[in-house]
Amino acid sequence: MPNRATTLRRRDDVLALPIRLDRAIRSQSQQVHSALRAGIIDGLLAPGLRLPSTRALAEQLGVRRNAIVAAYEALLSDGLVEARHGAGTYVAAELPAPPAAAPMAELDIRIPPRRPFALGVTLVDPVLLKRLAAASRRRIAQAVPDELGYGDPRGSLHLRTQVAHYLAANRGVRCDPSCILIVSGTQHGLRLCIDALLAPGDAVWFEDPGYFASRHTLRATGVTLVPVPVDGEGIVVTAGEKADAAAKAAYVTPSHQFPTGVAMSMARRIALLDWARRAGAYIFEDDYDSEYRFAGPPLTALAGIGAERVIYLGTFAKTLFAGLRLGYLVVPPALV
């Protein structure tokens, strides 16, 4: 008794195609197109091979015939097949060489397990998630055309206005929403600052010890890091001036130094701002978790007392959750 492959050979003079459909793809035509495209690109279907008729392939794969028709049309648009009048559809005669197999083990990125008190692990409140989901659905449903386009590169004006109100009330930072830029996290914001203000080789003060992720970001841009020690009052400004008084910038975590946890004293804040004014340098203030204090309101941000030389980096990663990937910059008007 002839099997299906034999039946296909008799009907179309071709073998059943060695492809499998990805049933996770909802559209049948996309399933077929994806499988045929992969078979052609990977070399399973040789150049010049005659493909089955749409009816025969639909029988082989168990899909609707119009799904095969749509897949063939898409492959024809891709240039991966050729339609010969009266003779059927063929794999294109000229194709790129199949890609070399890459050792996938090299691409295996292992995410460390989340442990209590680990860096960046915050308690996600289910009530907060429900409120956030409801607000998101409401905003999407009520969005106007202007909100669905690319919009202002600084981000939503409404969001920037709310951030400005929050900073004025809680961090002592008085700024216009026009000076706020929404970014996808602290490292994104820091990279924008470096690209705009610094050149490879420029010296940047960096707290020693300091936040490893920002150290990697700075090094990746080619700037020269100048380690400056930290004591019980924060970064030691006099040590930084001895190491390189002409540095172009300084990266600090004044409200809650990482990793020592000390808060920068007012005397050190004044000294740091005075140095920045004399040197014409900028201070990158990473205010990553100032909302969390055991007693009293958050300390006044460095940007609240020296805004003209300070670029403030804020984040929602700690107050909401890290996967949100949302932060913001407050920059002097001249730099916007």
Domain limits, the chain: 4-91, 153-335
Q: Is the pLDDT higher at 207 or at 22?
A: 207
3 has pLDDT over 50: no
The answer to whether the pTM exceeds 0.85 is: no
244 has pLDDT over 80: yes
**Bridge partners, 218 (sequence order):** none
14 has pLDDT over 50: no
7 has pLDDT over 60: no
Q: Among residues 264, 311, 314, which one has the least CA distance to residue 289? A: 314
pLDDT score for 151? 87
Q: Where are the beta strands (DSSP E) in the chain?
A: 81-84, 88-91, 180-183, 203-208, 224-231, 234-235, 249-252, 282-286, 310-315, 327-330
The helix/strand/coil state of 10 is: helix
Topology agreement, domain 4-91 and domain 153-335:
no
41 has pLDDT over 50: yes
pLDDT score for 15? 57
1 has pLDDT over 60: no
Average pLDDT over residues 47-60: 91
Q: Which two three-digit tokens encode residue 301?
A: 């941000």
pLDDT tens, position by position, 302-331:
998 888 899 999 999 888 888 889 999 999
CATH, domain range 153-335: 3.40.640.10
Is residue 193 within 8 A of residue 332, CB to CB? The reply is: no
- Least confident span in 2-16, 51-65, 250-264: 2-16
pLDDT score for 10? 41
131 has pLDDT over 70: yes
Q: What is the mean pLDDT of the chain?
A: 88
pLDDT score for 9? 41
110 has pLDDT over 90: no
pLDDT score for 107? 67
Average pLDDT over residues 137-153: 89
pLDDT score for 321? 86
pLDDT tens, position by position, 187-231:
999 999 999 999 999 999 999 999 999 999 999 999 999 999 999
- Least confident span in 11-20, 242-251, 286-295: 11-20
pLDDT score for 96? 75
pLDDT score for 299? 75
Q: Is the pLDDT higher at 111 or at 48?
A: 48
Is-cis flag, bond preceding 209, omega within 30? yes
227 DSSP 8-state letter: E
Q: Is the pLDDT higher at 332 or at 105?
A: 332
Between β-strands 81-84 and 88-91, what pairing exists: parallel, antiparallel or unpaired? antiparallel
The enclosing H or E element of 51 equals none
DSSP states of 149-216: S---TT--HHHHHHHHHHHHHHT-----GGGEEEESSHHHHHHHHHHHH--TT-EEEEEES--HHHHH
The answer for residues whose C-beta is within 8 angstroms of residue 289's C-beta and 6 or more apart is 255, 256, 318
- Least confident span in 76-80, 169-173, 188-192, 252-256: 169-173
- Least confident span in 59-68, 70-79, 153-162, 289-298: 289-298
* Percentage, residues of the chain above pLDDT 70: 92
Q: Among residues 250, 257, 261, 256, which one has the least CA distance to residue 306? A: 250
Average pLDDT over residues 260-264: 93
Average pLDDT over residues 164-192: 93
Q: Distances from the Cα of 314 to the Cαs of 133, 178, 236, 331, 335, in angstroms?
A: 23, 16, 23, 11, 17
Of 3.30.540.10, 1.10.10.10, 3.40.50.1580, 2.40.110.10, which CATH number belongs to 4-91?
Answer: 1.10.10.10
8 has pLDDT over 80: no
Is residue 230 within 8 A of residue 208, CB to CB? The reply is: yes
Average pLDDT over residues 59-72: 93
Single-letter code of the amino acid located at 311: I
162 has pLDDT over 90: yes
